[in-house]
């Protein structure tokens, strides 16, 4: 017997990708609205009442409004930024900490993580938990993503003839993923986060540079690598590579997968390290995480 899912906002990038993935799974059936009714509060509330789970692929304000009109007890997975740090919502990064997958499975309201935040938290939290990175440490994060996660205007700019090769953005240093990075990484000092977009559709690198001699105990790169391997041992969606990496990296190597890869680059002579999370911004960074959370919430996880 299949379970029913309503994607509110199915016409957007995340909604379309999620619908395609779910239609390929016989355990799920989708409740869809005709174009004329997609913005009707009555039709949407009725669809939420009929669904075993509703996924919100909406702008933040619309997602908040949808939650306010949801039937009592409705199970909701929100892919927007609106509820990622809100009380009463489980954070949908199943590999965040021991027991997090169980918390997601038991929750009626789950917030799907942001793509950049997924990479940043995956890098930061194990180091804070192991005592290698003090919560008040000065942290800088640098990232590059494919343009598919940037919304209709950015997608149009990059798919047009002569689109930009690369662009930095959020240079007011107030990117919307910073609150969830702080909430779930263990940091208490706000990091500097500088994201960029490359002229490619999918893929993401999130980078954390560190001066090892400024950390407690001056850990080596190998110690950091081992800390990641221990933290993510047995994790479904995070692959912590052993040892020190010194090659080149392409941001799209994890495309069309639901996994996140962690690599440690280090130079012991200078006590420098560069820690890197690589993921598909539409995979583990969006749709893949949603599919994983849906499976957990509905008891159908692989």
Catalytic residues: 115
DSSP H or E segment with residue 46: helix 41-50
Distance CA 14, CA 58 (A): 9
258-285 in b/e form (b: 16+ CB < 10 A) is: bbbbbbbbbeeeebebbbbbbbbbbbbb
The DSSP-derived string for 200-234 is SSS-EEEEEEEEGGGSTT---HHHHHHHHHHHTTT
d(C-alpha 89, C-alpha 112), whole Å = 10
Q: Which tokens in the block code for residue 152?
A: 């209709």
Which of 235, 293, 227, 231 lies closest to 259, judged by CA? 235
Question: What does the buried/exposed string (b/e) look like for 225-248 if buried means 16 or more CB atoms within 10 Å of the residue's CB?
Answer: bbbbbebbeebebbbbeeebbeee
């Amino acid at each position: 017997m299949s379970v029913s899912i309503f994607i509110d906002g199915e016409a957007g990038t995340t909604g379309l990708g999620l619908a395609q993935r779910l239609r390929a799974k016989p355990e799920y059936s989708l409740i869809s609205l005709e174009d004329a009714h997609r913005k009707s509060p009555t039709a949407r509330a009725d669809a939420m009442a009929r669904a075993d789970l509703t996924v919100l692929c909406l702008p933040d304000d619309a997602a908040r409004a949808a939650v306010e009109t949801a039937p009592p007890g409705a199970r909701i997975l929100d892919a927007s930024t609106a509820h990622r740090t809100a009380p009463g919502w489980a954070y949908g990064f199943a590999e965040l900490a021991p027991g997090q997958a169980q918390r997601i499975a038991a929750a009626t309201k789950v917030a799907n993580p942001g793509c950049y935040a997924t990479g940043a938290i995956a890098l930061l939290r194990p180091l804070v938990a192991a005592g290698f990175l003090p919560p008040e440490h000065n942290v800088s994060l640098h990232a590059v993503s494919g343009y598919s996660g940037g919304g209709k205007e950015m997608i149009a700019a990059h798919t047009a003839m002569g689109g930009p090769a690369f662009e930095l953005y959020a240079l007011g240093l107030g990117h919307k993923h910073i609150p969830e990075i702080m909430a779930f990484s263990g940091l208490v000092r706000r990091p500097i986060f500088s994201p960029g977009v490359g002229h490619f559709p999918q893929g993401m690198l999130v980078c954390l540079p560190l001066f090892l001699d400024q950390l407690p105990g001056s850990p080596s790169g190998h110690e950091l690598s081992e800390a990641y391997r221990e933290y993510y041992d047995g994790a479904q969606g995070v692959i912590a590579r052993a040892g020190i990496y010194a090659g080149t990296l392409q941001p799209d190597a994890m495309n069309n997968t639901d996994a996140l890869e962690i690599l440690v680059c280090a130079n012991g002579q200078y006590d420098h390290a560069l820690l890197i999370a690589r993921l598909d911004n539409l995979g583990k960074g969006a749709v893949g995480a949603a599919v994983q959370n849906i499976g957990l919430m509905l008891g159908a996880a692989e």
